[in-house]
Structure 1
Amino acid sequence: MKQRFIKTIGAALLGLSIVGCDTDELLDKSPVTELSGDSYNTEPNLMAALYASYDVLQWQVMDGVHVFPLMWQGIRADDLHSQFANFWTPGTIMDDFSLMQSNNVSVQKLWQKWYGGVSRANIVIAKAQEFDGWETEGLQAQVIAEAKTLRAFFYFELVRMWGGVPLITEPIASPSEIPSGERATAAQIYAQIDADLMDAVDDLPTKSGTVEGRVTKGLAQTLLAKSKLYQEDYASVIAYTEAVINSGEYALEEDFGRNFKLDNENGKESILEIQYEDGFSADFFEVASQSQQGSGMWQMCYPWIFGRWTSWSNMLPLGELVDQYDKVNDVRYEDTFISVGMDIRGDLPNLAANWCPPRDYNGDETISADEILATDGVVLDWNVSWLRPNLEDCNYTRKYIIDWDVLDGLLQPSQSPLNEKIIRYSEVLLMHAEASAMGGGGNGLASLNAVRERAGLTALGSYTMDDVKSERRKELATEGWNRFSDVVRWGDATSNATFQRKNFQSGRDELLPIPQSEIDVVGADILQQNPGY
């Protein structure tokens, strides 16, 4: 199912040009291709346009610029470190809030990514509503509902990164229709998110009733719960999370680590994940850019190796994060990290770990991947002092790792076929527990204990918000979608030691700067900058 859906997306992008999202600037007033009604006059073409909207989720790089989710929610927070300063500048800036400026190209491309998704979804909604030649019963309503759910997701990412942003809900058909760029308020953006999801929910199929990887009713309900959580409407969070919990469509995997295995993608815990596949292109992911169909996360996260399988260890867990875990009893520890002394031969044949970035046995030279395989399980002791002198531990992310025998068969190692989780059922339980702790009702203790017990921890007799914060951090660590936003929405940024070490400035760094390139097009009086930039 996964392969069929992904290949359909690829075919859609080859056969259909979606305009209004590929211009250099979202609000650029230079000529753009006008929408042609003839492009959307068949059911297959409208389906292709819908699949093109899903494609935006895969974009980790735009025009050669990194926009990996883990940069914004992991490195920018207190979970990860970016590598050393002269190696990966985009990540280095995430390690020091004072370096973030309005001309940051990664910020510009992230803005364009999510507005690219909004633009594609807008086209699908408008054209699907206009088209009167539907042959498949119920498909029109479902297509519109899927596109509205995707648009809600794209706007959710925009509002929690930038606050109030321009609200565009109609397709841009010609230069004369490009909006002025004036910002809506955050409340207006959340209202649009909620309206889209409420419109969509009853027209969406259940998880068991659709193709793997497609939008579902459970996803719409989960996104509604998440939107309401950010708006502090805790009673609504309880209502929507309990709708998902009581649906019977989702459950925790008995084995936490199974969530991140190639042979268990779109499993029973999955609510939304990015569909990746290999075999489309041998292009390096920075060259493939928006056309990539595989994930570059293996190469970005795996320990530094040069040779047949080059990787860079660009997103390194901080020792402070690793120390949050009960390393004896919490099964999430070994399924989330590769740490010193950890035997990982079960994942990577012929390799054990007592390591930091690879050196030879004398610590003099970088060891090649072929040499690693030739060691036949010898425990390597790799010295890190020359690379990360200011960090207290040697840890790597594990959730994006694929076996080396799988990696060896890929056209390009930076096009990993491993899907990436955006929302898992455990997050629904954690949102339910949080809303309950905040007075929304419901039995939040049962939800929190379900997550704890799956992790191998004892059940609690009562709990506080500190327990919720701790479990949420440990459960979702290194997946790339929540940590920074969680710290900010909880009001914990100013008391967070890592944030302060990274020069966090209250009133400024909660939000990203509006890209200066966007402001320059329409004027600072129309598209106003966030405070402090």
Structure 2
Amino acid sequence: MISKNIKIAVALVVLAFSATSCEDFLESKPISQIGETDFFKTESDFTQAVVGAYSALAQVYSGNGYYSLLVDLRSDNTSELVAGASGNDAKRNIDEFRETTDNEHLTAFWQTSYALIARTNSILVRIDGSPVGDDLKKQYTGEASAMRALAYFNLVRLYGGVPLVTEPVTDIDASYSVGRASVQEVYAQIEADLTKAEGLLPVTYDDANTGRITKGAAQSLLGQVYLTQKKYAEAAAEFRKVVSSGTYKLLSVYADLYKAGQQGNSEAVLQVQYKGAANGLGSNLPNHFAPTGSEGITIPSGGAYGFNQPTDDIANAYTKGDVRRNNIADGYTLGGAFVAAKYVRGYVERETGGGYADSGADWYVVRYADVLLNYAEALNEVNKGPVADAYAAINQVRKRAGLADLAGLTYETFKNAVYDEERLESPFEGHRWFDLLRTDRALTVMNSKVSGPGKSTVGISTPIKPYQLLYPIPTLVVTTSSPAIVQNEGY
């Protein structure tokens, strides 16, 4: 049973701080819960606290956060193709835009996001006066700032204005009176955090620390934040830093992105990393993406739930010769018979582990290909037409996909070409719904694909309305904080 103290976002910051220590970045073990005031005393304490923040980040993108359900399932790229109980299947309701304010996944994502914010706040408020060495102090401040920014970036795009908590809150009663900041205020904090992180983080780490947030990751996230707000010149400037740094490059073979052992590859600007067979450090991605009924075939064990299966719409969007289409399997064989149930090879057939949430399959938050395409988009907007650098960026991605270079396009045709590439390059990595929102196409695109009852194509059978571009604030948050927190319009 969830206690009252974690029903509201800001109350999460007073939970006993559970951090971890590590031999290397992924091999961490829990320490006993301990009060924050008593905990932060040594450099080792802060080291454990930062790893604890990464542990909370892992929960957002796998674990209890169900990030992929809220973003990919919402889009036209994936659907929960296995019928659930009508009207009360939390996942299917998200897919079909029928979720209610008490949807368990909306509540879980809110809570895991604010748990991450709580851990970063605890670090940031104390580290300046700590005995941590100067180099590590800069690094830890940068990492915590970037993680907090990423949490708020997700929240503001999904819910709109949210409570903006930047310090630990020790007064429970006072926490219930914290209202929602405006969207503009939340973005201002995100920009400030990422700008600070960019100036503090290292370019790279040694192998034992692969997966930590780098300068390039902060710059890429900041570029996406600017792009989302249509600050195109600022976005282009951030992406240019990443491209010109020479730190990242595309893998030569697209399928290699999803092979085992690809943690920290040259294209991975920011991954949320997991470790299989390591006592709770694994991801549940193969279990969630494997078609229902395919346990023992597509994955060895742990359950196959079919939460996020590719739609025919995305499968049919690829042109002949596009190697990225092979990341979508059309089904599997059971008892000698073919079962037509699409799934994402990149999750289901990679590092599947030996049980539930026991996979080493990572989540790409940002790949270099994403940076190149976002850079091309921003340059086209700045110049009101494609320039040489914009063509160079998009054509790198297309060449690897086995497609011909683009040339001679107008502002409009290039823009649409970038939109298409953004969808086809990383359709199952949490970008599509946010891309539709950012480019003001969500209503038009989704409503053009409405199907009748029982004719599942992209998961919706009736047109969506403007208010559904945001999720409702979870009931638990509104009821414990009314009148400070008011529900989103339409819910």
TM-score tier (shorter):
0.7 to 0.9
Matches within 5 A, 1:207-356: 207-208=204-205, 211-281=209-279, 292-303=280-291, 304-307=293-296, 309=301, 310-326=303-319, 328-334=320-326, 336-339=327-330, 355-356=331-332
Change (3 A) 1:3 1:254: farther
Provide the C-alpha distance between the structure 1 equivalents of 2:232 and 2:99, rounded to a whole number of angstroms. 33
Deviation at 1:157, TM superposition (A): 0.6
**Which stretch shifts more, 243-252 or 304-313?**
304-313
- Provide the secondary structure at the position in 1 that maps to 2:329: strand
Counterpart of 1:4 in 2: which secondary structure?
Answer: coil
Name 2:56's counterpart in structure 1.
56
Tell me the number of residue pairs that the alignment of Structure 1 and Structure 2 aligns: 445
| Conserved? CA contact 2:472–2:487, under 8 Å | yes
Q: Identify which of 346, 352, 355 aligns with 1:412.
A: 355
Aligned to 1:160: 157
Match for 2:398: what amino acid?
A: R
Asked if structure 1 preserves the Cα contact closer than 8 Å seen for 2:277 and 2:359, the reply is no
For the residues of structure 1 that align with 2:359 and 2:398, how far apart are their CA atoms? 31
Tell me the SS of whatever aligns to 2:187. Answer: helix
- Please tell me the residue identity of whatever aligns with 1:438: E
Query: Which range moves more in the overlay, 433-442 or 209-218?
Result: 433-442
Shift of 1:201: 1.2
Structure 2 residue identity aligned to 1:493: A
What letter matches 1:506 in structure 2? K
Change (3 A) 1:126 1:330: same
What residue number does 2:335 align with?
360
Contact conserved, 1:234 with 1:440, CA < 8 A, in 2? Answer: no
CA distance in 2, matches of 1:73, 1:3: 34
1:5 aligns with 2:21: no
The TM-score with structure 2 as length reference comes to: 0.85
Question: Structure 1 234/60 Cα, relative in aligned 2: closer, same or farther at 3 Å?
Answer: closer
Runs of 5+ unmatched residues, structure 2? 1-21, 452-459
Task: Give the residue type in structure 2 aligned to 1:360.
Answer: G
Taking the aligned partners of 2:396 and 2:348, their CA distance within structure 1 comes to 26
Q: Which residue of 1 aligns with 2:441?
A: 492
Q: Does 1:509 align with 2:456?
A: no
8 Å contact from structure 1 (residues 125, 144) kept in 2: yes
Work out the CA distance in 2 between the residues paired with 1:260 and 1:505. 34
CA–CA separation in structure 2 for the residues paired with 1:3 and 1:137: 22
Hey, what does 1:126 align to over in structure 2?
Answer: 125
CA 114–504 in structure 1, closer or farther in 2 if over 3 Å, else same: farther
Task: Quote the Cα distance in structure 2 between the aligned partners of 1:6 and 1:305.
Answer: 29
Q: Is the 8 A contact 2:272 2:364 kept in 1?
A: yes
Q: Which structure is larger by alpha-carbon Rg, 1 or 2? A: 1
Aligned equivalents of 1:225 and 1:171: distance in 2? Answer: 28
Q: 1:36 to 1:253 in 2, by over 3 A?
A: closer
Opposite residue 470 of structure 1, the aligned amino acid is D
Matches within 5 A, 1:3-82: 4-7=24-27, 10-11=28-29, 13-17=30-34, 35-59=35-59, 67-82=65-80
Is 2:420 aligned against 1:470? yes
Listed as ranges, the matches of 1:437-452 within 5 Å are: 437-439=380-382, 443-452=389-398
Find the aligned partners of 1:94 and 1:462 in 2 and give their Cα distance.
Answer: 41
Deviates more, 1:298-307 or 1:245-254: 298-307
State which drifts further: 140-149 or 298-307: 298-307
How far residue 439 of structure 1 moved from its aligned partner, in angstroms, is 2.1
Task: Please list, as runs of the form range in 1=range in 2, the aligned pairs for 1:161-176 lying within 5 A after superposition.
Answer: 161-175=158-172
For residues 322 and 255 of structure 2, what CA distance do their matches in structure 1 show? 12
Determine whether 1:138 maps to 2:135: yes
Shift of 1:137: 3.9
Q: Share of identical aligned residues, percent?
A: 27
Per-residue CA shift, 1:431-481, capped at 9, x if unaligned? 1111112125862111111111111100001342110110000001112x2
Most deviating of 496-505 and 294-303? 496-505
Provide closer, same or farther for how the CA distance between residues 187 and 89 of structure 1 changes in structure 2, counting only shifts above 3 A: same
Q: Given that residues 219 and 239 in structure 2 are in contact (C-alpha distance below 8 angstroms), is that contact kept between their aligned partners in structure 1?
A: yes
Contact 2:61 2:68 (C-alpha < 8 Å) held by counterparts: no
Q: Out of 191-200 and 440-449, give the one that drifted further.
A: 440-449
- In the alignment, the residues of structure 2 paired with residue 15 and residue 423 of structure 1 have an alpha-carbon distance, to the nearest angstrom, of 33
1:382 aligns to 2:302 (yes or no): no
Q: Conserved in 1, the CA contact under 8 Å of 2:285 and 2:357? A: yes
Mapped contact 2:60–2:112 kept (Cα < 8 A): no
User: Shift of residue 500 of structure 1?
Assistant: 4.0
The amino acid across from 2:75 in the alignment is: A
CA distance in 2, matches of 1:239, 1:520: 43
Deviation at 1:3, TM superposition (A): 8.1
